[in-house]
Structure 1
Amino acid sequence: MTVSRRQLALGAGALAAFAALPASAFAQSNLSADDRTVLQQAQTYLQGLTSAQGDFVETGPGGQVRRGKFWLQRPGRMRFEYTDPAGLLVVSNGSNVMRYDPRLEVFRQVPLSQTPLSTFLAREVRLDQGVRIDRVTRMASGAYAITARDSRRPNDGQVILAFAGNPVRLQEWTITDAQGARTRTQLTTLRNAPGLAASLFQLRDPTRRPGRN
């Protein structure tokens, strides 16, 4: 069974923000030299985030809260394991992104290249291609936030990426869709995790039964 980009994003909101980061941003006239320095710093950080794990809290437009753990290994692999609601899984094996909801006993998959996750899980992460940067906000503490949208579809919504400044660390993001609905994802922990097991990024269809077509 296949699934649309929107349906899959709803099950993996913790990485869907990167759909808005596919116009050369650094060359935009509204950006100062300091803004461009911040963007380059963010891009360098994200490019270096090749193998990591942590915990997240996702707050949806209606105030509903989802929690879970995640693992990623670029290029192409990630796993989001929700503990609330329990059992919900979103896994990319490098070729396909699979989503399993045990409450509904539904398994779906779509090619990675057709999902929002492909930008962030690419071998090379770029913030200077296909992006319109609306705002770079810098705080005295060194923290900063980048407000961006897809330059090809600017009315589809925006994402705000928030980073700690020293040392640089992705802290959270907030997605606002075309209808104005906001989803906030906070990374409560994030750490490098070399040597992740390959089994984390494998998911067989749990709904298939022996002898079932």
Structure 2
Amino acid sequence: MKRRMIARSLLLWVGVVAGPLGAVGLTGCATSGYDHLVTNDQHDIHRVENYLNGLTSLQASFVQTGPAQQGDGHFTYAPGRFEMVYEVPHAMRAVARDGHFVLRNADNGAVTHLSLKRNPLGLLLRRPVSFDGDVQVTNVSRGAESLQISVAEANNPSQGLLTLQFADVRGKLTLVGIQGVDARNHHFGLSLFDVQENQPVSEDSFILPE
């Protein structure tokens, strides 16, 4: 049961469930981009875009939080794609690229294919990453040595919300968290630790599971 819950919480977030957004509150006509935001917010969004587009890779340990269970493993990101390899509660591997998300459960061999074309997670996989045009920036918030932005599809915000969390130490950003809320208000999050940037990554990491 615990193994099934981990996989289900991940799949819920990437869009296997659809419906009204409810508590997220992104209904109605959306405002594209971030020109409507105050100057400080626009500046920080530019910083995030420059940071993400300046990465050749990012590798980290992760802890996943979901509706009922947790998992952990290794996260590898390169522009336009990422891989998640689970160690706990059991072996699973997920790859997102080219508008697709594929999860393979090593426990039973099951493979699940999902589309990211109408999912906020797909916004992170754009090359280059841009939060203008058909993207709506819904929130920018700052803390002690931290920065967080939330984004959604401008034309269809009810599909969900993606929140990127960064350490912001002496002006240097580091991605440390990815949070999502799907169309039925299911929450999913990754906390990233021991982050290493711009290290060599094998392209084998981004081969879709079969």
C-alpha distance 118-179 of structure 1, shift in aligned 2 (>3 A): closer
Aligned counterpart, 1:33:
39
* Equivalent AA in structure 2 for residue 59 of structure 1: T
Aligned counterpart, 2:95:
91
Q: Which one of 55, 64, 72 corresponds to residue 58 of structure 1?
A: 64
Aligned counterpart, 1:195:
200
* Contact 2:105–2:111, Cα closer than 8 Å, also in 1: yes
CA distance in 1, matches of 2:12, 2:187: 14
Aligned counterpart, 2:190:
185
CA distance in 1, matches of 2:138, 2:100: 32
Q: For structure 2, which runs of at least 5 residues remain unmatched after alignment? A: 1-6, 15-30
* Contact 1:53–1:72, Cα closer than 8 Å, also in 2: yes
C-alpha distance 98-138 of structure 1, shift in aligned 2 (>3 A): closer
Secondary structure (helix, strand or coil) at the match of 1:144 reads strand
CA distance in 2, matches of 1:187, 1:86: 19
Alignment: residue pair count: 186
The one-character-per-residue Cα deviations of 1:97-117 (angstroms, maximum 9, x if unpaired) are: 432112232124467768765
Q: CA deviation at 1:193?
A: 4.1
Secondary structure (helix, strand or coil) at the match of 2:158 reads helix
The one-character-per-residue Cα deviations of 1:45-86 (angstroms, maximum 9, x if unpaired) are: 111122121111111022x10111022232x44321011132
C-alpha distance 51-85 of structure 1, shift in aligned 2 (>3 A): same
Q: Which one of 132, 137, 146 corresponds to residue 136 of structure 2?
A: 132
C-alpha distance 108-125 of structure 1, shift in aligned 2 (>3 A): same
* Contact 2:120–2:162, Cα closer than 8 Å, also in 1: no
Secondary structure (helix, strand or coil) at the match of 1:125 reads coil
Larger radius of gyration: 1
C-alpha distance 103-202 of structure 1, shift in aligned 2 (>3 A): same
Q: CA deviation at 1:155?
A: 2.1
Q: TM-score w.r.t. structure 2 length?
A: 0.73
Q: For structure 1, which runs of at least 5 residues remain unmatched after alignment? A: 1-6, 15-22, 206-213
